[in-house]
Amino acid sequence: MAVIPVALGGRSYEVQVARGLIEDAGHHLAPYLRKREVPVVVDANVRRLWGARIEAALAVEGHQLRWFEVPPGEGAKSWEWLARLTDWLLDQGVERGDHVMALGGGVVGDLTGFACAILKRGCGFVQVPTTLLAQVDSSVGGKTAINTAAGKNLVGAFHQPSLVLADLDVLGTLPPRELRAGYAEVLKYGVLGDRAFFDWLAANGAAVLALEEAALEHAVATSVAAKAAIVAADERETEDKRALLNLGHTFGHALEAETGFSDRLLHGEGVALGMVLAARYSARIGLLTAPDADKVAAAVGAAGLPASLSAIGLDCNGKTLVAHMLHDKKMDAGTLPFILLHAIGEAFVSRDVALADIAAFLDEELAR
Ligand code: NAD
Ligand code: ZN
């Protein structure tokens, strides 16, 4: 078992990473549960697979779950479901000192966290993330949000959970494609700030994806520790530190937009390919060595993730992709920040990238 502290003064909390946490959830959650009834937000898939187990685990401590179920998928991060959830939490009599449980992937975590941020000006919540992406990324750091017609994650709040239980057992039921998509974010931590971890993943990535316990725990715990350090240093993304977590995301976002934010390209798949593009562009302008750019592409490809634009069959040009980027919320005072690489493990925020140059680069990549 790994326990990673997220050091945020009065908002500090722990992320526990181990197998069997859900089986023992009654014990782990006891300090946070003041009432017999515990409100739990979940999607239909996760409830079907894991609902009975967590119900049994909490019954041991005399707790009864009250379920709020949303349909699986990004659609639950909406005004409509936010309204339904907050009304339901009020109906349940949730007070500021109570804790709501978010049991699920990033969608359930983001929606629940936001509802808890605004419920009575802020009630507690605990995250029990059930996807690899949620365990290594969305459940840690306190960003919560819903989507609106104007774009993804444009309405939200910073609201830290009180505890995160990352149970490695739940990943056993995750569809392999979702597992690989989450692995893209694991790889990201190596590429952006930890060469030794990147090299370790090159050797052990297959064991991680095969859910071998020791490798999986090391990968999740190292990723969480990396995110925790960044969040502790720059909780609200004001200093270019937290922004490094967007490595691969500006390119990735354009690819997600071009594929209509659909099943054609999962977020993690977009990020994986986006990381390759960030590396290749860094090499093109002489920042990164070509062999290192190739290594990033090889690590992405080895995980069964798309490592080139031809792998996802787009019918567009560089200009179209850049236009998608300009809709990115991270556009700041008219410039588009790009996370580029001096080396594997040394990412930085660049604010002087010419978009015409990016479009030309993408045209070359599309033709490769
Ligand atoms: P998700 O929550 O939609 O889950 C993906 C799919 O896996 C869903 O169909 C879900 O029902 C299913 N699932 C979840 N756990 C399962 C399990 N154990 N077994 C079987 N199926 C399971 O998607 P996600 O990838 O976890 O999260 C994506 C969301 O996270 C996006 O909305 C994104 O904006 C958000 N996000 C937030 C942050 C943040 O800092 N808050 C960071 C990254 C991503
Ligand atoms: Zn991401």
CA–CA separation, 322 and 336 (whole Å)? 10
What is residue 66's predicted lDDT score, i.e. its pLDDT?
98
Instruction: Check if the beta carbon of residue 25 is closer than 8 Å to that of residue 58.
Output: yes
pLDDT band at 81 (very low <50, low <70, confident <90, very high): very high
Looking at residue 327, its pLDDT comes to 80
Q: Supply 87's token pair.
A: 């009304």
How far, in whole angstroms, is CA 258 from its chain's centroid? 20
- Average pLDDT across the chain, whole number: 96
Distance CA 187, CA 77 (A): 26
What average pLDDT does the segment 100-125 reach? Answer: 98
- 12 vs 249: CA distance, rounded Å: 27
| Cα 17 to ligand 1 centre (Å) | 18
Q: Taking each helix axis as running N to C, give the angle between helix 290-302 and helix 267-284, from 0 to 180 degrees, rounded to the nearest 10.
A: 170
Phi/psi at 12 (5° precision):
-70, 155
Residues 150-174, mean pLDDT to the nearest whole number: 97
Label the pairing between strands 143-148 and 151-158.
Answer: antiparallel
- What pLDDT does 127 receive? 98
Determine phi and psi for 153, rounding to 5 degrees. Answer: 55, 30
Q: Is the pLDDT of residue 40 over 60?
A: yes
**47: CA distance to ligand 1 center in Å?**
14
CB of 153 shorter than 6 A to ligand 1 = yes
Confidence of residue 332 (pLDDT cuts 50, 70, 90): low
What confidence tens digit (pLDDT) does each residue in 225-268 have?
999 999 999 999 999 999 999 999 999 999 999 999 999 999 99
Percent of the chain with pLDDT over 90: 96
Q: How far is the first Cα of the chain from the last one, in angstroms, to the nearest whole number?
A: 45
Considering the entire predicted model, what is its pTM? 0.97
Distance 31 CA to ligand 2 centre (A): 31
The answer, yes or no, to whether any atom of ligand 1 lies below 6 A from the CB of 325, is no
DSSP letters along 272-296, please?
A: HHHHHHHHHHHHHTTSS-HHHHHHH
Cβ of 104 less than 6 Å from ligand 1: yes
pLDDT digits (tens, 9 = 90+) for 169-205: 999 999 999 999 999 999 999 999 999 999 999 999 9
User: Is the minimum distance from the CB of 201 to ligand 1 under 6 angstroms?
Assistant: no
For residue 330, the model assigns a pLDDT of: 57
Provide the residue count of the chain.
368
The pLDDT score that the predictor gives to residue 335 is: 75
**Which H helix or E strand runs over 117?**
helix 106-118
Kindly report the protein residue whose alpha carbon is nearest to atom 28 of ligand 1: 106
Compute φ and ψ for 247, nearest 5 degrees: -50, 130
Residues labelled as active-site residues: 121, 143, 185, 227, 237, 242, 246, 249, 253, 267
pLDDT bin (cut points 50, 70, 90) of residue 6 is very high
- Residue 47: closest CA among 146, 128, 121: 128
For residues 228 and 27, give the distance between their C-alpha atoms in angstroms, rounded to a whole number.
24
104: alpha, beta or left? (left if phi > 0; alpha if psi -120 to 50): left
Q: Is 217 a pocket residue for ligand 1 (Cβ < 6 Å)? A: no
For ligand 1, mutation pick of 54, 114, 133 (most atoms within 8 Å of CB):
133
pLDDT digits (tens, 9 = 90+) for 287-330: 999 999 999 999 999 999 999 999 999 999 999 999 999 886 55
Q: Which residue has the least CA distance to atom 38 on ligand 1?
A: 138
For 344, counting Cβ atoms within 10 Å of its Cβ (0-12 exposed, 13-18 middle, 19+ buried), the class is buried
CA-nearest residue for atom 43, ligand 1, is 138
Within 13 Å of residue 246, how many CA atoms lie on the same side as its CB? 22
| Residue 151 exposure: Cα atoms within 13 Å on the Cβ side | 13
Q: Is 223 in the pocket of ligand 1 (CB under 6 A)?
A: no
Centroid of ligand 2 to alpha carbon of 203 (angstroms): 23
Residues 6 or more apart from 356 whose CB is under 8 A from it? Answer: none
pLDDT of 333 > 70? The answer is: no
Would you say the CB of residue 350 lies under 6 angstroms from ligand 1?
A: no
Q: How far apart are CA 360 and CA 214, in angstroms?
A: 44
The mean per-residue pLDDT over the stretch 142-152 comes to 95
CA of 23 to the centre of ligand 2 (A): 29
Bridge partner list, 349:
339
Kindly state the DSSP code that residue 138 receives in the 8-state scheme. Answer: I
Copy the structure tokens of residue 213.
């316990």
* Residue closest by Cα to atom 2 of ligand 1: 105
Answer yes or no: is pLDDT of 144 > 80.
Answer: yes
